[in-house]
């Protein structure tokens, strides 16, 4: 049943993004920023963890989970080590994902022929 929920909720998130692109003529960068901020707001009100519990990967794969991860890590680090942890906590939880994105982007750039 978790696969069905992941498919439906992940598909609903993607449908909302596509409707924003088509109806409001927003650029993809606008959609990314909106979803990251929305994920942060949902995390601030402890709603994103409930969504992840229901949808699993359907809520973890869209870009909104990046905002959730950033906010979650910053709040946890701030609770442990005061305001300085607020800035260092941003990169503790998300550094592996950022490093993987940079590494695989570099590998793909080496393999594929750039258009120029």
69, 93 contact by CB (below 8 A) = yes
Q: Is residue 103 predicted with pLDDT exceeding 70?
A: yes
How far is the C-alpha of 91 from the C-alpha of 52, rounded, in Å?
21
What pLDDT was estimated at residue 67?
84
How would residue 116 be classed by pLDDT, with cut points 50, 70 and 90?
low
Q: Please state, for a pLDDT cut of 70, what percent of the chain lies above it.
A: 97
How would residue 8 be classed by pLDDT, with cut points 50, 70 and 90?
very high
Q: Is residue 60 predicted with pLDDT exceeding 90?
A: no
How would residue 19 be classed by pLDDT, with cut points 50, 70 and 90?
very high
| DSSP track, 103-116 | HHHHHHHHHSPPP-
Count of CA atoms in the C-beta half-sphere (13 A) of 1? 2
Q: Where are the domains of the chain?
A: 2-111
74, 67 contact by CB (below 8 A) = no
């Amino acid at each position: 049943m978790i696969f069905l929920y992941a498919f439906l909720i992940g598909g609903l998130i993607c449908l909302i993004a596509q409707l924003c692109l088509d109806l409001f003529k927003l650029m993809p960068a606008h959609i990314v920023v909106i979803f990251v901020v929305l994920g942060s707001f949902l995390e601030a009100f402890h709603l994103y963890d409930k969504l992840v519990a229901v949808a699993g990967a359907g809520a973890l794969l869209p870009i909104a989970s990046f905002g959730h991860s950033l906010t979650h890590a910053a709040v946890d680090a701030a609770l442990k080590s005061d305001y300085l942890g607020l800035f260092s906590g941003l990169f503790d939880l998300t550094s592996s994902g950022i490093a993987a994105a940079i590494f695989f982007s570099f590998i793909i750039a080496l393999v594929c022929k750039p258009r120029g």
